[in-house]
């Protein structure tokens, strides 16, 4: 169940799904010799190295969130109770979303400590892939300010604007919900018919045709989503990370 | 290393939930000492625990190191007779659902016999109590599984080199970091992982992975029961060959549905409304009456779980339910035969199962179809 909005059905919820990355310090991985495995200590990476580790080969703008040991529900810096989070979630599909572990600020040995060096640090930031144009954000940040920061970074990172695709994707959510309802009704009807008359029932053919038509319609919506989401990144010019 | 994801069935369950703010990590931080044993030896021994940690979790990493590597997530640990369990599960308010209330009350009553500080009539399970409950559930499952398959609990086959591992995370992030860090797996769904070189057999999941659909302790218990049973089954056949897909899935459903039949990981999605999709016996009976079920010969030829759609999951549960009810004493020998080394040549997979059915149950494939149909008609009324 999402906070602050009417519940979405399965497919539209998938569209709103955040593809989080959870980086770990691979340098602190295991050294294996037969059955004996020694675990290297974690170590804090310098800021530039930490940013490079987060971005990897991905040139999308970054959205980096740190979990927190004391705050209740750190995601609320992004997803706020009582607010409509769908716009935020749709905008996030153009970001490289990263979630860091809860001791990032408190533990000086935490690999990404340099990005959130103390507990007064913001809970998240958005930036270009190399840390340029970094905007720290807090849960008190208004939705309008959050969206403005996100949109501004997207505009400078992608060739096309996200405004038109964003509106179109928002409309598709309702379409997906309608389709999910119709699909569920037809499937339930098919199950009833199979259980009552068997899978050879002539009545089942009509339902199967309806299911096929709905599947085609859904494939068309999926194609629209792919098209709307595919924006070309601008040529990656490193910026001076602040 | 090999991992078995529950991706197909859980993908839909996961979909609706990832957009919510995750649970607070430490809004209900547990006391460092378990309040139910207070670390007193007489209670620790009475409940059959070896340790609350730190202990070695994987080669080269103690439980303390795991906590450090996962970024300080507050994990509680316990070592029981057959399991090592880690939990970052948050405290849980028992649902208003009377079935769940009764189930948990009965579990707490059993636990209170070993740990008098446990009270059966509570409305909330704190983080330590959830750990105790899952420890009790795991050991009870182990005992039941050993009985079902006629295996002595201490004579080896069910235990890997190390004890079975169970990692229950509150948040998907902790789970994902653990799977990356210790198993090099980019996992989003609950996983069973075997590490032969380390001698470990693990089931790991995050409660958050179930939140959007089956957001309760009983559904998590059902998922754990299914997955631990499959890990035990994998141990039962040891180094031989994996059990046939119909049998493994059916066994998993049996143990999950014993916890509560409403929370099938696979099977419910395509069977109509949430209100009655879980009610499989009358649905199976109706399909059997209409002849809408895969024959034994078809089942024996399946090689991957992808060949089972939702109704088929329901039907293989019915097949295995029949074997549990009518041939309970012969399940162990059947598993041993059905997982024996494959004979050479085309059709060997089917031939091995046919031979196992015949030797263990005195059933030819067609006899299995007939006997099952008769039983369904009688038992699933």
pLDDT in tens, B172-197: 999 999 999 999 888 889 999 988 77
Give the CATH number of the domain where residue A88 resides: 3.40.30
Q: Using CA coordinates, name the residue in chain A closest to B23.
A: A73
pLDDT in tens, B207-266: 988 876 788 999 999 999 999 999 998 887 664 567 899 999 999 999 999 999 999 877
C-beta atoms surrounding A195 within 10 Å: 21
* H or E element in which residue B284 lies: helix B280-290
A109-119 burial, b for 16+ CB within 10 Å, e for fewer?
ebbbbbbbeee
Same domain (yes/no): A119, A177:
no
Instruction: Say whether pLDDT at B128 is over 60.
Output: yes
Same domain (yes/no): A149, A180:
no
Same domain (yes/no): A81, A191:
no
Q: Tell me the shortest Cα–Cα distance from A112 to chain B, in angstroms.
A: 10
Tokens encoding A25: 């310090």
pLDDT at residue number B310: 86
With an 8 Å Cβ cutoff, are B25 and A10 in contact?
no
Same domain (yes/no): A29, A142:
yes
CB-defined contacts A:B, below 8 A: 146
Same domain (yes/no): A106, A210:
no
Pairing of strands A62-66, A30-33: unpaired
The domain boundary, picked from A133, A157, A181, lies at: A157
- Residue A151 contacts by C-beta under 8 Å, 6 or more apart in sequence? A91, A162, A163
Q: Are A194 and B315 in contact (CB under 8 A)?
A: no
pLDDT in tens, A164-217: 999 999 999 999 999 999 998 998 899 899 999 999 999 999 999 999 999 999
Number of domains in chain A: 2
pLDDT at residue number B23: 39
Task: Identify which of A22, A32, A198 has the shortest CB distance to residue B177.
Answer: A22
Would an 8 Å CB–CB cutoff place B54 in contact with chain A?
Answer: no
Of B266 and B82, more confident: B82
- Which residues numbered 184-213 in B keep a CB inside 8 Å of some CB on A? 197-198, 211-212
Whole-number average pLDDT of chain A:
85
Question: Percent of chain A, pLDDT > 70?
Answer: 83
Same domain (yes/no): A63, A104:
yes
pLDDT at residue number B327: 92
pLDDT class of B273 with cuts at 50, 70, 90 = low
With an 8 Å Cβ cutoff, are B70 and A18 in contact?
no
| Residues from chain A contacting residue B273 (CB–CB below 8 Å) | 184, 188
SS3 content of chain A, % helix, strand, coil (to 5): 45, 10, 45
User: What pTM value is reported for the model?
Assistant: 0.89
pLDDT at residue number A4: 43
- Residue A56 gets the label, from left (phi > 0), alpha (psi -120 to 50) or beta, of left
Among candidate residues B83, B200, B202, B201, the one with its CA nearest the CA of residue B153:
B83
Q: How far is CA B374 from the centre of its chain?
A: 29
Pairing of strands B83-87, B92-93: unpaired
pLDDT in tens, B301-353: 998 988 998 889 999 999 999 999 999 888 888 988 888 766 666 678 899 89
pLDDT at residue number B179: 95
Would an 8 Å CB–CB cutoff place A9 in contact with chain B?
Answer: yes
- Whether residue A235 is contained in a domain is answered as no
d(CA B326, CA A22): 48
Question: Percent of chain B, pLDDT > 90?
Answer: 62
Q: What Rg value do the Cα atoms of chain B yield, rounded?
A: 21
* Domain ranges, residue A198: 163-229
- Which residues numbered 17-36 in B keep a CB inside 8 Å of some CB on A? 17-27
pLDDT at residue number A35: 45
With an 8 Å Cβ cutoff, are A76 and B19 in contact?
no
Same domain (yes/no): A109, A186:
no
Across B96-117, average pLDDT: 96
With an 8 Å Cβ cutoff, are A2 and B292 in contact?
no
**ipTM higher than 0.90?**
no
pLDDT in tens, B140-160: 999 999 999 888 755 566 666
Task: State the helix-helix crossing angle for B280-290 and A163-197, rounded to 10 degrees.
Answer: 60
Same domain (yes/no): A127, A173:
no
Instruction: Say whether pLDDT at B7 is over 70.
Output: no
pLDDT at residue number B330: 86
- Whether residue A237 is contained in a domain is answered as no
Q: Tell me the shortest Cα–Cα distance from A150 to chain B, in angstroms.
A: 17
Least confident of B94-98, B198-202, B222-226: B198-202
Instruction: Say whether pLDDT at B101 is over 60.
Output: yes
Across B109-119, average pLDDT: 97
| Residues from chain B contacting residue A207 (CB–CB below 8 Å) | none
Across A35-40, average pLDDT: 52
- Which residues numbered 87-126 in B keep a CB inside 8 Å of some CB on A? none
Instruction: Say whether pLDDT at A28 is over 80.
Output: no
Task: Identify which of A3, A24, A31 has the shortest CB distance to residue B21.
Answer: A3
Of A236 and B251, more confident: B251
pLDDT in tens, B276-302: 889 999 999 999 999 999 999 999 999
Tokens encoding B331: 């399940």
Instruction: Say whether pLDDT at A238 is over 90.
Output: no
pLDDT class of A90 with cuts at 50, 70, 90 = very high
Same domain (yes/no): A114, A147:
yes
Hey, is B372 helix, strand or coil? Answer: helix
Same domain (yes/no): A200, A115:
no
The domain boundary, picked from A102, A123, A157, lies at: A157
d(CA A43, CA A28): 7
Task: State the helix-helix crossing angle for B365-379 and B280-290, rounded to 10 degrees.
Answer: 130
Question: Percent of chain B, pLDDT > 70?
Answer: 85
- Whether residue A85 is contained in a domain is answered as yes
In degrees rounded to 5, what are phi and psi of residue B267?
Answer: 115, -35
Q: Are B82 and B163 in contact (CB under 8 A)?
A: yes
CA distances (Å), A30 to each of A33, A39, A99, B37, in order? Answer: 10, 5, 22, 35
d(CA B181, CA B195): 14
In degrees rounded to 5, what are phi and psi of residue B309?
Answer: -85, 180
Instruction: Say whether pLDDT at A32 is over 50.
Output: no
Q: Using CA coordinates, name the residue in chain B closest to A28.
A: B69
Same domain (yes/no): A132, A42:
yes
pLDDT class of A8 with cuts at 50, 70, 90 = confident
With an 8 Å Cβ cutoff, are A13 and B19 in contact?
yes
CA distances (Å), A7 to each of A14, B15, B81, in order? Answer: 12, 12, 44
Instruction: Say whether pLDDT at A88 is over 60.
Output: yes
Same domain (yes/no): A110, A210:
no
Q: Pick the most confident of A77-91, B6-20, B27-41, B224-238.
A: B224-238
pLDDT at residue number A242: 47
Instruction: Say whether pLDDT at B13 is over 50.
Output: no
Instruction: Say whether pLDDT at A149 is over 80.
Output: yes
């Amino acid at each position: 169940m999402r906070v602050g909005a009417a519940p979405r059905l399965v497919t539209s919820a998938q569209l709103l799904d955040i593809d989080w990355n959870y980086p770990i310090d691979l340098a602190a991985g295991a050294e294996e010799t037969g059955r004996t495995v020694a675990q290297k200590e974690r170590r804090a990476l310098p800021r530039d190295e930490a940013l490079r580790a987060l971005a990897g080969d991905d040139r999308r703008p970054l959205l980096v969130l740190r979990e927190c040991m004391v705050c209740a529900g750190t995601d609320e810096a992004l997803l706020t109770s009582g607010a409509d989070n769908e716009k935020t979630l749709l905008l996030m599909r153009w970001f490289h979303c990263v979630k860091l572990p809860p001791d990032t600020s408190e533990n000086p040995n935490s690999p990404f400590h340099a990005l959130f060096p103390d507990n007064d640090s913001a809970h998240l930031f958005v930036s270009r892939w190399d840390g340029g144009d970094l905007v720290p954000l807090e849960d008190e940040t208004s939705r309008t300010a959050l969206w403005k920061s996100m949109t501004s970074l997207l505009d400078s990172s992608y060739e096309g604007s996200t405004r038109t695709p964003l509106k179109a994707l928002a409309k598709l959510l309702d379409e997906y919900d309608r389709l999910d309802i119709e699909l569920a009704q037809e499937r339930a009807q098919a199950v009833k018919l199979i259980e009552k008359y068997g899978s050879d029932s002539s009545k089942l053919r009509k339902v199967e045709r309806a299911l096929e038509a709905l599947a085609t319609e859904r494939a068309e919506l999926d194609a629209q989503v792919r098209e709307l989401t595919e924006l070309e990144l601008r040529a990656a010019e490193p910026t001076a990370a602040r | 290393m090999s991992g078995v994801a529950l991706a197909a069935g859980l993908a839909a369950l996961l979909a609706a939930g990832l957009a919510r703010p995750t649970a607070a990590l430490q809004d209900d931080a547990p006391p460092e000492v378990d309040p139910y044993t207070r670390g007193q030896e007489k209670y620790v021994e009475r409940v059959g625990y070896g340790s609350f940690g730190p202990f070695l979790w994987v080669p080269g990493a103690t439980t303390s190191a795991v906590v450090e590597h996962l970024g300080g997530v507050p994990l509680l640990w316990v070592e029981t007779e057959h399991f090592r369990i880690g939990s970052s599960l948050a405290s849980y308010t028992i649902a208003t659902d009377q079935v769940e209330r009764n189930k948990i009350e009965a579990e707490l009553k059993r636990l209170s016999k070993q740990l008098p500080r446990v009270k059966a009539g509570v409305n909330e399970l704190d983080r330590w109590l959830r750990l105790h409950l899952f420890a009790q559930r795991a050991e009870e499952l182990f005992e039941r599984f050993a009985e079902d398959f006629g295996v002595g609990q201490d004579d080896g086959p069910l235990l890997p080199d190390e004890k079975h591992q169970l990692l229950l995370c509150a948040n998907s992030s902790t789970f994902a970091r653990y799977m990356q860090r210790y198993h090099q797996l980019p996992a989003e769904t609950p996983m069973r992982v075997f590490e032969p070189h380390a001698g470990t057999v693990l089931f790991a999941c995050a409660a958050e992975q179930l939140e959007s659909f089956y957001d309760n302790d009983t559904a998590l218990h059902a998922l754990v029961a299914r997955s631990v049973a499959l890990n035990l089954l994998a141990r039962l056949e040891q180094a031989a060959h994996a059990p046939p897909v119909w049998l493994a899935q059916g066994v998993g459903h049996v143990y999950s549905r014993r916890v509560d039949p409403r929370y099938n990981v696979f099977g419910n999605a395509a069977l109509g409304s949430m209100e009655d999709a879980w009610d499989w016996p009358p649905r199976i009976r109706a399909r059997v009456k209409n002849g809408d079920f895969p024959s034994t010969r078809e089942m024996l030829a399946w090689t991957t779980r992808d060949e089972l759609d939702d109704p088929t999951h329901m039907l293989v549960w019915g097949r295995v339910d029949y074997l549990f009810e009518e041939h309970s004493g012969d399940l162990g020998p059947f598993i041993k035969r059905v997982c024996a080394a494959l004979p050479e040549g085309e059709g060997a997979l089917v031939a091995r199962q046919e031979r196992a059915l015949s030797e263990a149950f005195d059933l030819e494939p067609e006899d299995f179809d007939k006997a099952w149909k008769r039983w369904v008609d009688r038992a699933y009324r």
